[in-house]
Structure 1
Amino acid sequence: MVHQAPTGSVEGEIIALLPKLRAFSKSLTKSRSDADDLVQETLMDALAHLDGYQENGKLKAWLFRIMRNAFLTRCKKAKREVCMPLEDSIFSQPAPAAQEWAIDLRHLYEAADELPSHLRHVFIKVMEGQTYEAIAAECGCAVGTIKSRVNRARHQLAEKMDWDTHRVHH
C-alpha cells in the first residue's frame, strides 16, 4: 500500500517538489541513476531532519540546500577514493591528503571567479538551488539561454580545472 501524505502537510509539499528535485539532481550529476540516487538521499536526509525544518521557511530552498550538500559530499568522497586493481594491496598506494581537496576547492572558486560575469552569475544561482525558470525570470531571458550559460560555465570550469569534460554533464 502506498502512503499518501495529507494535502497541506510538509510531506505533501515535498512530494509536490519531486519534479524540481529530480531536475536539479540531473543538472548536478552525470547519469540518470546517480540523479535518482541523489534525490533518494536528499529525501532520506530531509525526512530524517524534518524536525529541523522551520514551517515558515522556504521548503524548496531547504531541500535544494540538502541536495547540494549531499552532492558536494559525494564529490569530496569520490575525490578521496583511490581506484586500483584487486590484486594490489590496499596499503600499496597512499590515499590523497585531505588538504588536497581543500586546495582543489579553492582552485574551483578561483576558476569560477574568472568566468565571464553572465556565466558566473547563473552558475552560482544554480549552485544555490535556484531553478532555471527563476533565474531566467530574474535575467529577463529564456530558460534555454540559462541552461546554455550554465553548460558553458561548467565546461569552462572543467577546462580551467583540467577535468575530463566527459564527466561534466547537463
Structure 2
Amino acid sequence: MAKFFIVFLASAICFTTLVHFAAADADDFDRFHIKGSVYCDTCRVQFMTRLSKFLEGAKVKLECKGRENQTVTLTKEAVTDSAGNYEMEVMGDHEEELCEIVLVQSPDPECGEVNNQEFLRNAARISLTANDGIVSNETRTINPLGFMRKTPLADCPQAFKELGIVPDVTF
C-alpha cells in the first residue's frame, strides 16, 4: 500500500510539473523578443564591408498592417545602443498581418540617406506568429539594416579590391 501511495504521489507531482510547463509555453506563444542592428553603409554598396560602422541612436519602427486593407494595427519604435543594436518586445499574435521593421532616423547627418526603391535595405519583414514553423517562438533576429552615406569613403575601392569584387559604384 505504501508503494502504491509513493508511485501515485510521484505521478501526481510529475503531472503537475508537466501542466505548469505547458501553461508557461502557451503564454510565450504570443510574446516575441525582436532584436537587430543598424549600420552606416559607408561605401554605398548595400551590404556591410569592413568600413561599415554601426550607428548609436538610430531609430527603427515595427509596423504591422492588415493584409486586406493595409490598416496599421501595431507600431512600436526602438533606438539603437552604443553597439548599434536595438531590442523590443511585442505581445500578441499577428499571423494575419504583414509586419516589418523600417528605418526611421539616422543620428549621423553624413549617413542618413534611405533609398526607398531598395526594400531589402530599408525594411525587413518579420513573422510575429507561433504558427509559422519557426522553432523558437521567443526571439526574432532581424538582418542588419543600413543607412547610406551621402558619398562613399575614399578607402572603399581598396576594401572592394580586398574582397575581389568590382561594385557598380562610381568613386
Greater fraction of residues in strand:
2
TM-score when normalising by structure 2: 0.25
Structure having the higher Rg: 2
Pick the structure with more helix per residue. 1
Greater relative contact order (Cα 8 A, min sep 6): structure 1 or 2?
Answer: 2
TM-score by length of 1: 0.25
